[in-house]
Structure formats: C-alpha cells, structure tokens
C-alpha cells in the first residue's frame, strides 16, 4: 500500500475512533512504528490531529457543527482494497467476534443542504432563504438511524466519493447509533448531495438529489456483504443506488429467507420486475400512482391502488399517506391507519423514519400491523424535528401511542 492510501485510511480511523495508537496502526498496516509516526505527523501538519506519546487524537472542527452525535456500538479496523482499484471498499466491521446484523440496509448517503423559505419559488422566480443548514442524510442513512433507535443490530452499506463531503459522511455515521457500517469509496463520482427547500409555515419540502457515488455500487463491492445479507432477518433498501445491484441484493436476501422491504423512491419503473422478490413495499401516494396508475385522493382510491400493486407480485402493500396515515393490504385484508396530529416543522425524512422504524419493529418480532402502528407514530414525531435524520426516541413513541389509546 502506498503512503497516500495508508494516510487516507488512518485519517478515516481517526474520524471513527477519535484517537489512534501508533503500535496498533503499525500492526494493522505491517509497517514500522516510525512510518506510522511520520504518517500521523503529516496529518497533524494539516491540522487534522494532534500527537501525543504513543498515538494521536482527532481535532474537532467547527464545520461538523450540524452533524448530530450519538454513539457507535461496533466498528473496527478498516481493510484496504488493492491500491490499483479506482473505487475502494472499506468494510468497517470485524466479523470474527460478532453476530450478524438483524437488519441489513443497502442504502445511500447524501449531504442535505437545507434552505428554509416562506414560499416555494415559482418557475423563474428567486426567493430569499431564512437559513442554510447542512445535515447528514440520504434515505439509507436516515432509515438506518431510525431503525437503530429501536434495534441495536443494524448494518448499513453506503458508497461515498473521495471529497470533503465523504469525510463528513464518515464522521457523521461513526457517531450515529448504527451497529456496523460498510463505507465504500469511489474516486470518480462525488458523495451524494441534496438541495432541500423547506416551507417555514407548513414544514413541506421540495428536494433535488444528485446521487453521485450512491448509484455506482458494484458487484465486487456487494460481495463483501453477502454473509450479512444471507443471515439478516430484515433486508431494507430503496432506489437511491444503482438498480442492478439493488436487484441482486434483494433477490439474494429473499432467497436466503429474509423479510424484504422496498421503499420505491426515487421511483424507477423497472422496479416492477423485482416485485416478486419483495415482501413489503412502501410507496407514498405519488409512487403508488406510478405503480398502479390510480390517483389516491380518498380511502377508496387507496384501496384500489393497493390491490393493483398487490397484483404485481408483492405480498404486503403499505401506502404511506403523509398526515393522513397509511393504508395496508395483504391480498385478504385492508387496514387503514389514521395519522397522528403533529406540530410539523420539517417533513423531510418522514418516509425514512417510517421505513426504518417499520423494519426494526418487524425485526424485533412484531406483526406487520403492530409494526405499522409503531412506525406511524414514530414518523409523526419525526416531522416535529428539523433535519431528515433527526429521529425520536422510542419513549416518545410509546407516550404518543398511549395518549392516542392505540
């Protein structure tokens, strides 16, 4: 491994662990302690860390201020791929001393650039924003953070670029309560990013996404995770990765016996090809229209759309309806769940909170309908918080359910 690759990995190690040992790094990279001290001094010269006897610690920068910090349960030595590859895979999990995750999420990471406005601009119009904030986001990351609030065995696989946003992604996810991570890197494509306009009066949002590295996961990348996919109880994914790899992973998960959940967003009509491998699909009203051709404007149209989607081959259909709750159909029974009253501040991430908490509840052994009830309350609390990944604690969900006598 060349010096630049080694220093890049040491930098990632610092971001994750906040502190590193010269002796441990020398063993990891099979080099002398003097070589590691030189590497750390090079990073210290860039004001990334400060050295002490036997190691170095990360210097925290003010630019991380918008990224929520919690904790991480299990992340170990990063393994390097051959230096000749353009896209490197860094499996951040030691498989030797841990069990497989209960929930596997093949997902995405985006930096969310959030602008708060009074009104959304019309075509050709410029409006003033009241604030600009930066949050860790991406449907996969958001759903993993939501699921980890409920289940402590969540695994997330994402792909980022080799840019400043990638460093933010690693730092952010290392401080999220996710049990294990596989952070892939792509030298040719940027870390995903999204521009989110949030209407200050209503909390509604409009989003434009550049998927970047998210849409360039490869077969070689996913091979590292096949054991995890095979052994998980619940597999959750979206359409923010490249479709072929998502299809491969969800097919393998289904054949391995996992409960497969697909959140079909951003919508791609090719998704209809893989619905026989999907146990639970969770479209919103717009995606349900794309799948069924039926405009949803009341309970009856939701019923008809759910029935038509079911006939495409999926076992369970859950249409999320925003503040109107959600609608379920399994081929035999319809079940409509009303929404909770909420003081909406920011609706971005509401669908992710629903999907993540739904997956975790199912992994915890709850029936689908009970899991829907929990996820419906969880999502109603999420919209009362700023930031797409700012998820509520389970105690608040239980209190809301108790108050509503569910």
Active site residues: 352
Contacts of 333 (CB under 8 A, 6+ apart): none
Residue 112 marked ligand-binding: yes
How many H-runs (helices) and E-runs (strands) does the chain carry?
13, 17
Residue 140 marked ligand-binding: yes
Residue 110 marked ligand-binding: yes
Residue 321 marked ligand-binding: yes
DSSP assignments along 109-172, one per residue: -EEEEEEEESSPPPTT----EEEEEEEEE-HHHHHHHHHHTT-S-EEEEEEE-SSHHHHHHHHH
Q: Would you say 164 and 194 are in contact if contact means Cβ atoms under 8 Å apart?
A: no
Residue 88 marked ligand-binding: no
Residue 331 marked ligand-binding: no
Residue 171 marked ligand-binding: no
Residue 348 marked ligand-binding: yes
Residue 136 marked ligand-binding: no
Residue 385 marked ligand-binding: yes
Residue 138 marked ligand-binding: yes
Closest-CA residue to 147 (of 185, 101, 114) = 101
Residue 311 marked ligand-binding: no
Residue 209 marked ligand-binding: no
Cα R_g (the chain), whole angstroms:
22
Q: Would you say 145 and 391 are in contact if contact means Cβ atoms under 8 Å apart?
A: yes
Residue 351 marked ligand-binding: yes
Residue 331, Ramachandran bin (φ over 0: left; ψ between -120 and 50: alpha; else beta): left
Looking up tokens 């759910």 gives: 306
Residue 240 marked ligand-binding: yes
Q: What would the two tokens of residue 245 be?
A: 């790899």
Q: Provide the 8-state DSSP code for 82.
A: P
DSSP assignments along 275-306, one per residue: GGG-SEE--BHHHHHHHHS----SHHHHHHHH
Residue set of the binding site for substrate: 110-112, 138-142, 240, 352
- Show binding-site residues for ATP: 284, 320-325, 351-352, 376
Binding residues for K(+): 346, 348, 382, 385, 387
Q: Residues marked as binding?
A: 110-112, 138-142, 240, 284, 320-325, 346, 348, 351-352, 376, 382, 385, 387
């Amino acid at each position: 491994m060349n010096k630049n690759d080694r220093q890049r990995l040491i930098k990632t190690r610092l971001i994750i662990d906040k502190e590193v040992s010269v002796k441990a790094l020398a063993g990891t990279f099979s080099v002398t302690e003097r070589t590691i001290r030189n590497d750390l001094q090079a990073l210290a010269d860039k004001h990334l860390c400060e050295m002490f006897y036997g190691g170095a610690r990360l210097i925290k920068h003010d630019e991380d201020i918008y990224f929520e910090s919690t904790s991480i349960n299990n992340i170990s030595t990063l393994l390097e791929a051959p230096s000749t590859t353009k896209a490197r895979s860094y499996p951040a999990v030691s498989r030797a001393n841990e069990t497989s995750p209960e929930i596997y999420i093949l997902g995405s990471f985006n930096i969310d650039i959030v602008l708060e406005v009074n009104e959304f601009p019309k075509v050709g119009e410029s409006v003033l924003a009241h604030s600009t904030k930066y949050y860790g986001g991406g449907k996969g990351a958001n759903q993993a953070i939501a699921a980890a609030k409920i289940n402590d065995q969540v695994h997330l696989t994402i792909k980022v670029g080799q840019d400043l946003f990638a460093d933010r992604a690693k730092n952010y996810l290392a401080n999220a309560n996710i049990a294990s991570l596989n952070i892939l890197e792509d030298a040719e494509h940027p870390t995903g990013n999204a521009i989110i306009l949030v209407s200050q009066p209503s909390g509604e949002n409009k989003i434009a996404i550049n998927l970047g590295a998210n849409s360039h996961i490869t077969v070689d990348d996913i091979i590292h995770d096949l054991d995890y996919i095979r052994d998980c109880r619940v597999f959750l994914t979206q359409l923010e990765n490249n479709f072929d790899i998502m299809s491969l992973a969800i097919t393998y998960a289904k054949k391995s016996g996992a409960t497969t959940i697909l959140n079909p967003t951003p919508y791609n009509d090719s998704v209809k090809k893989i619905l026989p491998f999907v146990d639970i699909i969770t479209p919103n009203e717009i995606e349900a229209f794309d799948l069924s051709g039926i405009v949803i404007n009341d309970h009856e149209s939701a019923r008809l759309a759910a029935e038509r989607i079911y006939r495409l081959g999926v076992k369970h259909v859950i249409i999320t309806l925003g503040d109107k709750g959600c609608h379920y159909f399994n081929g035999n029974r319809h079940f409509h769940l009303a929404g909770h009253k909420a003081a909406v501040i920011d609706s971005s991430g509401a669908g992710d909170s629903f999907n993540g908490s739904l997956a975790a509840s199912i992994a915890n052994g709850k029936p689908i309908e009970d899991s829907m009830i929990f996820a419906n309350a969880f999502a109603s609390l999420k919209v009362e918080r700023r930031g797409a990944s700012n998820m509520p604690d389970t105690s608040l969900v239980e209190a809301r359910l108790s108050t509503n006598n569910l």
